[in-house]
């Protein structure tokens, strides 16, 4: 599949940014609040909408300007302009909804990816090369039943908790972050407090990008070059994702972080073995979407988490890889964190992590929207 270049999302201008700060306090900013010409993907938050755009890009293997006018790269409002592939994509949304309704009882089983598989035009002929090569392991996006009996969930989690060592009451981390297809290293600061508060700040050249979870509520503040809205409350699966990321910073609580735990399979990726566990977030009631956790059977440490966010068109996975575990006040802490999602990747490398029991509560308050850059 071709790379989707997020650099196309660098913009000089924002629209309607200021007017939205008020919404951001209490509820997420919805599509209807800001976007100009959305005909199908309504009734969802702008964050979920942007996830759906990432899903379109990943499914067709193309970047945003495959379906949007080139000039939209400098002006969010121009994403509302017509483009032949955008028109085609709308017809495809109607087709997919129609097929799911007519043939699958309205269940969303057919998505853009089912046919496109990361290509502009779905293939017509089976590939002999693919047929006779080792298939890649598919990431399970449903709860798996009937996994192996050994090891048990408790064995894996107890080994992990023991491997991590002394629970940290909180920490402050400093380092750098590098984006996908972007060589610039940006300073990063992380503030975290047990059991599940976290604020992750990237100082980008366009302004701060801040992800905060205060134990109940979460927010995303990002420069106008990055998102059509600069500050919004998180909701739904995205709020759950923020809760999970915050809780995973404090492994001693891990058993309570998820429910319906199960061991799903032993896996080998590259030349490394893993034990893979699944659970669902303990705060969601429907228990549909799994969280997959990969543990290194040798060290017992967590090496990867994969979680999903629902969108009207399909699921958006977010994969987090944890590496370079080092000792901080008797606890093993991953110093390298790589996050991969449908249209981007970031690599964070900490240079310094300090245990800290008294991180200021103000660190987890709703962040401030970054100032709008002048054109
Ligand atoms: C395969 C085609 C396709 C790709 C790729 C795509 N989009 Fe879209 N985009 C659409 C369609 C279709 C709509 C209108 C959806 C509707 O009417 O419900 C849309 C609407 C939008 C809107 C709303 C504009 C408005 O104000 O009405 C924004 C913003 C947007 N896209 C951003 C992006 C970004 C950023 C990317 C790259 C990550 C992207 N899109 C990739 C097809 C695409
Ligand atoms: C049932 C299979 C199927 C599904 C599902 C599907 N497509 Fe397609 N799509 C096709 C086929 C086949 C073509 C090529 C048609 C042709 O060659 O004229 C196509 C063409 C396109 C094109 C135009 C490509 C071009 O070069 O003309 C776009 C854009 C597109 N699809 C977007 C989407 C999006 C977005 C979704 C999900 C909402 C989606 N498709 C779901 C089968 C599918």
What's the pLDDT tens digit per position in 144-158?
Answer: 888 888 899 999 999
- From the list 192, 174, 200, the residue with the least C-alpha distance to 353 is 174
> For a pocket test of ligand 1, which of 48, 69, 86 has the largest count of ligand atoms closer than 8 A to its C-beta?
86
- From the list 188, 236, 285, 308, the residue with the least C-alpha distance to 47 is 236
- From the list 367, 361, 321, the residue with the least C-alpha distance to 220 is 367
> For a pocket test of ligand 2, which of 52, 64, 92 has the largest count of ligand atoms closer than 8 A to its C-beta?
92
Minimum-distance ligand to the CA of 67?
Answer: 1
Ligand 2 geometric centre to CA of 353 (Å): 47
Cβ neighbours around 45 below 10 Å, total: 22
Is residue 281 over pLDDT 60?
A: yes
Beta-carbon contacts of 236 under 8 Å, excluding residues fewer than 6 positions away, are 45, 48, 309, 310
User: Greatest CA separation found in the chain?
Assistant: 61
The set of protein residues with a Cβ atom below 6 angstroms from ligand 1 is 9, 35-41, 53-54, 56-57, 60, 62, 64, 66-68, 76, 79-80, 85-86, 89-90, 228, 343
Q: What is the dihedral of CA 238, 239, 244, 245, to 10 degrees?
A: 70
Q: What is the dihedral of CA 309, 203, 366, 342, to 10 degrees?
A: -10
Mean pLDDT confidence for 10-37: 62
Round to whole Å and give the CA distance between 44 and 196.
Answer: 26
pLDDT at 287: 64
Is residue 1 over pLDDT 50?
A: no
In this structure, the residue with its CA closest to atom 43 of ligand 2 is 115
Residue 319 · residue 304 · CB < 8 Å: yes
Instruction: Calculate Rg over the CA atoms of the chain.
Output: 21
Token pair for residue 180?
A: 């996908």
pLDDT in tens, 165-203: 999 999 999 999 998 877 789 999 999 999 999 999 999
Is residue 9 over pLDDT 50?
A: no
Atom of ligand 1 nearest to the CA of 76: 29
Atom of ligand 2 nearest to the CA of 114: 5
Is residue 8 over pLDDT 50?
A: no
Residue 110 near ligand 2, beta carbon < 6 Å: yes
Residue 319 near ligand 2, beta carbon < 6 Å: no
Mean pLDDT confidence for 86-94: 98
């Amino acid at each position: 599949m071709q790379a989707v270049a997020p650099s196309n999302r660098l913009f000089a201008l924002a629209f309607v940014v200021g007017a939205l700060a008020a919404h951001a306090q209490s509820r997420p900013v919805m599509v209807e609040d800001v976007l100009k010409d959305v005909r199908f993907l309504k009734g969802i938050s702008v964050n979920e909408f942007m996830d759906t755009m990432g899903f379109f890009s990943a499914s067709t293997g193309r970047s945003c300007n495959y379906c949007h006018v080139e000039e939209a790269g400098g002006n969010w409002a121009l994403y509302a302009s017509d483009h032949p592939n955008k028109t085609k994509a709308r017809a495809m949304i109607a087709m997919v909804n129609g097929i799911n309704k007519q043939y699958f009882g309205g269940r969303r089983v057919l998505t853009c990816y089912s046919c496109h598989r990361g290509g502009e035009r779905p293939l017509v002929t089976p590939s002999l090369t693919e047929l006779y090569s080792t298939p890649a392991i598919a990431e399970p996006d449903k709860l798996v039943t009937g996994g192996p009996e050994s090891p048990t969930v408790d064995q894996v989690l107890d080994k992990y908790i023991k491997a991590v060592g002394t629970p940290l009451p909180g920490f402050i981390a400093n380092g750098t972050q590098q984006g996908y297809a972007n060589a610039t290293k940006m300073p990063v600061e992380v503030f975290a407090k047990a059991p599940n508060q976290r604020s992750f700040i990237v100082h980008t050249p366009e302004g701060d990008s801040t992800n905060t979870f205060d134990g109940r509520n979460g927010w995303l503040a990002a420069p106008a070059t990055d998102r059509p809205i600069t500050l919004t409350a998180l909701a739904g699966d995205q709020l759950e994702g923020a809760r999970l990321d915050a809780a995973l910073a404090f492994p001693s609580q891990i058993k309570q972080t998820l429910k319906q735990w199960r061991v799903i399979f032993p896996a080998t990726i590259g030349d490394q073995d893993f034990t893979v566990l699944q659970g669902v977030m303990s705060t969601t009631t429907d228990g549909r979407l799994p969280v997959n956790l990969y543990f290194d059977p040798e060290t017992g440490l967590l090496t990867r988490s994969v979680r999903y966010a629902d969108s009207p068109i399909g699921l958006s996975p977010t994969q987090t890889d944890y590496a370079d575990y080092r000792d901080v006040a008797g606890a093993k802490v991953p110093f390298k964190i790589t996050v991969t999602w449908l249209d981007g990747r970031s690599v964070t490398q900490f240079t310094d992590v300090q245990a800290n029991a008294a991180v200021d509560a103000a660190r987890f308050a709703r962040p401030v929207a970054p100032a709008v850059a002048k054109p």
